Amino acid sequence: MSRRPALLAWALLSLLRLGEAQKTETPACCSPIVPRREWGALASKCNTPLSQPVRYVVVSHTAGSSCNTPASCQQQAQNVQHYHMKTLNWCDVGYNFLIGEDGLVYEGRGWGFKGDHSSHLWNAMSIGITFMGNYMDRVPPARALRAAQSLLACGVAQGALSSKYEVKGHRDVQPTLSPGDQLYSIIQNWPHYRAS
């Protein structure tokens, strides 16, 4: 089976499993995360572990192209990783997780490794979650926001995130417009958001 139909089949099965999980109302249900091998990630050269449980989550946007299908999000994740590794010379994609407008979470560095998503200070003590797209003038679809919230609940359930974690916007920790005005307005209403 080629990669594109396999990814589509995986996404459909994931959505079916998510629907079943929602029926049972498991409070800390971990929605499926698209593993690196499924989106065609290059091998990581990163080896700096992230001490867990992590206290902070930094939310950003890529400010680039958005994606709304598993195939286009797979390509966008590859594009972001290629830019970070080949142009910026980083050891991997800078984010721990990438959120697509298709409602899926794409594994970046994952829970266990330090990212390169904000400043050196914050990278060492936070998980970096980015939404693929530009959210200055528009909001991400509800399914993408739900995917991010589910990911955070999963992190707590797995012990990767502190139950008292704090969400920060990228602009809260570094001078930038990220995560975009519209997405920033949304995360400011999340229960774990703290500006300072």
CB 140 within 8 A of CB 70: no
pLDDT tens string 113-139: 999 999 889 999 999 999 999 999 999
- The amino acid at residue 24 is T
Q: Where are the beta strands (DSSP E) in 51-157?
A: 54-61, 97-99, 105-107, 126-131
Q: Is 36 among the domain residues?
A: no
**pLDDT value of residue 4:** 55
* Exposure string for 6-40, b = 16+ CB within 10 A, e = fewer: ebeebbeebbeebeeeeeeeeeebebbbbebebbe
pLDDT tens string 92-118: 999 999 999 999 999 999 999 999 999
**pLDDT value of residue 2:** 54
Q: Is 55 among the domain residues?
A: yes
Ranges under pLDDT 70 in the chain: 1-29
- Per the structure, how many domains does the chain have? 1
Q: Is 27 among the domain residues?
A: no
Read off the CATH number of the domain in which 183 is found.
3.40.80.10
Which is nearest to 96 in space by CA: 177, 28, 144, 160?
160
Angstrom CA distances, 185 to 59, 76, 145, 182, stand at: 12, 24, 13, 5
Which is nearest to 116 in space by CA: 137, 87, 145, 155?
87
Residue range of the domain that includes 123 = 49-188
**pLDDT value of residue 12:** 46
Q: Is 141 among the domain residues?
A: yes
